[in-house]
């Protein structure tokens, strides 16, 4: 069951979305969402997602994702991700990632990563990384 809301208090559930073949809820563009539990969502075009607790997000088209608590994010097309608390991020197509709190980042296609707090980054394809606070970086070709 997807736990997706329009508000942080979980009083306005999101309904009426389609589910793709991989089980991801395809959400409206340009809206703010709060995602919890094992939910899987896809957002487009300037959407904003606050992801908590094992949720999975695919973000496209300048979207922003704030990931907490073991969330997984795949960011494309100039999206921005703020990763905390053991989150995992795959960044593509000039996306930007701010990683904190033991997060892991795989950066591709000219993406940029700022890593703090024991985060680990694998950088590919002309990606840039700035690492602080015991973070580790591996440059891959």
Could you report the per-residue pLDDT of 101-129, keeping only the tens digit for each? 899 999 999 999 999 999 999 999 889 99
DSSP 116-130: -SS-EEEE-TT-EEE
Q: Which domain holds residue 20?
A: 3-139
Exposed, middle or buried by CB within 10 Å (0-12, 13-18, 19+), for 1?
exposed
What's the whole-model pTM score?
0.92
For residue 29, give the nearest of 17, 13, 11, 37 by alpha carbon. Answer: 17
Computed over every residue of the chain, the mean pLDDT equals 94
In the structure, what pLDDT confidence band is assigned to residue 140 with cuts at 50, 70 and 90? confident
Residue 99 pLDDT > 80, yes or no? yes
pLDDT of 29 reads 94
The answer to whether 95 and 110 have CB atoms below 8 angstroms apart is no
Residue 55 pLDDT > 80, yes or no? yes
DSSP 133: T
Residue 141 pLDDT > 80, yes or no? no
């Amino acid at each position: 069951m997807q736990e997706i809301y329009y508000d942080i208090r979980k009083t306005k559930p999101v309904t009426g979305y389609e589910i793709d073949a991989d089980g991801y809820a395809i959400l409206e563009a340009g809206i703010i969402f709060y995602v919890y539990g094992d939910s899987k969502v896809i957002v487009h075009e300037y959407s904003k997602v606050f992801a908590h607790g094992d949720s999975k997000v695919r973000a496209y088209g300048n979207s922003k994702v704030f990931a907490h608590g073991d969330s997984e994010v795949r960011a494309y097309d100039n999206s921005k991700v703020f990763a905390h608390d053991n989150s995992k991020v795959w960044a593509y197509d000039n996306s930007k990632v701010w990683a904190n709190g033991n997060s892991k980042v795989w950066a591709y296609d000219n993406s940029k990563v700022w890593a703090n707090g024991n985060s680990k980054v694998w950088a590919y394809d002309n990606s840039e990384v700035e690492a602080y606070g015991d973070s580790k970086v591996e440059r891959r070709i």
